[in-house]
Amino acid sequence: MNLSDLQVLLTEQMHQHLRCYDVTPEELPPTPQVRATVPMIAALMADYPRSEQLAWVLYALVVNVTDALLDCPHPDAGDVDVLTALAHGDPPTNPKHLLVRLLDAAYAALPSSVASPAIQQWLQTFFSAQLSPQQSADSYLAYVENRIIAQGVPLLFQIAALLIDPDALNDPHLPQRMRLAGTITALTNDLASYEQEVREGVAAYANARGVLATITGLPAQHPALSRLIAADIRDAQRRLDTILRQHAPLDQLIVRTTTLVTHARSHHGEEVS
């Protein structure tokens, strides 16, 4: 099956599953990230069973919808209330909220053999990072650490490990591999998306260029800032290459993810290597 056919089938399966939880396609935010969810996961997991593809698509959808709800200067108060409750592990203030229904659909898509109570903690960590970008924007290092979590990298790789490589969750080096992969994808995206985030009014605290500009006093477009970010990407890639487990399923997925992101972004006018 070619990739286009897989995307069509996976989209149909996703919509069918979501309808069981009263989620319609029209409710999903029409952002580029949300629209790209199925194509991205199809490209990354084309050789895995459809049930595992569906579960990962749905958790990726949770990540992208959360980002869409908060990626503006003044998010809706009702959305923030629901996300705050989820971050604290409390019952959501609105059990009919889109995100609550998506979470129910995502959890139900997991095979019963891999359902884990750890997922709740992983989600809380993700939601907390999504809610606190401005608090971490006074330090470049703090920004990067929060950005890695807020973009969903640890959450999605932990879910993937449950599905395709459970032994990876017991590997003491997994957090470091996820952090390095997250650094690559987060900073690569930041280099390519600064102008978009300026238009959205969030660049000063939601983009590495904006954070560095605030800290250094340099213009965000100053070449020195791009060079610093690109150097951090290269360093993370070098360090990641030295600790990857050869032939391990999760590590192969990590490589696919960083490769796909850097390749896609390099065609948007930014040099990251």
Our count of domains for the chain comes to 2
Q: Would you say how long the chain is, in residues?
A: 273
pLDDT one-digit tens code per residue, 27-38:
999 999 999 999
Domain span including residue 175: 138-273
Lowest-pLDDT range of 169-173, 233-237, 260-264: 260-264
- Mean pLDDT over each residue of the chain, to the nearest integer: 91
- Six-digit token string for 65: 């919808």
The amino acid present at 31, given as its one-letter code, is: T
Give the contacts of 206 (CB within 8 A, at least 6 positions apart). 71, 133, 137, 197
Whether residues 87 and 156 share a domain: the answer is no
pLDDT at 233 over 90: yes
**DSSP 8-state secondary structure symbol assigned to residue 91:** P
What does the angle CA 71 – CA 261 – CA 228 come to, to the nearest 5 degrees?
80
Are 66 and 159 members of one domain?
A: no
183-227: pLDDT as tens digits: 999 999 998 888 887 777 777 777 888 889 889 999 888 999 999
4 has pLDDT over 80: yes
Domain boundary among 84, 116, 131: 131
Cβ neighbourhood burial of 231 (10 Å; 0-12, 13-18, 19+) = exposed
Report the alpha-carbon distance of residue 225 to residue 223 in Å, rounded.
Answer: 5
Would you call 107 helix, strand, or coil by DSSP? helix
Same domain for 15 and 125, yes or no, is: yes
* pLDDT over 50 at 75, yes or no: yes
Residues 270 and 145 in one domain: yes
- pLDDT of res. 271: 37
Question: Does residue 236 share a domain with residue 148?
Answer: yes
Q: Can you tell me the distance from the alpha carbon of 259 to that of 244, in angstroms, rounded to the nearest whole number?
A: 14
Same domain, 25 and 112: yes
Judgement on whether residues 58 and 145 belong to the same structural domain of the protein: no
105 shares its domain with 236: no
**Do 116 and 189 fall into the same domain?**
no
Whether residue 110 is found in the same domain as residue 151: no
Q: Give the end of a domain, one of 102, 131, 160.
A: 131
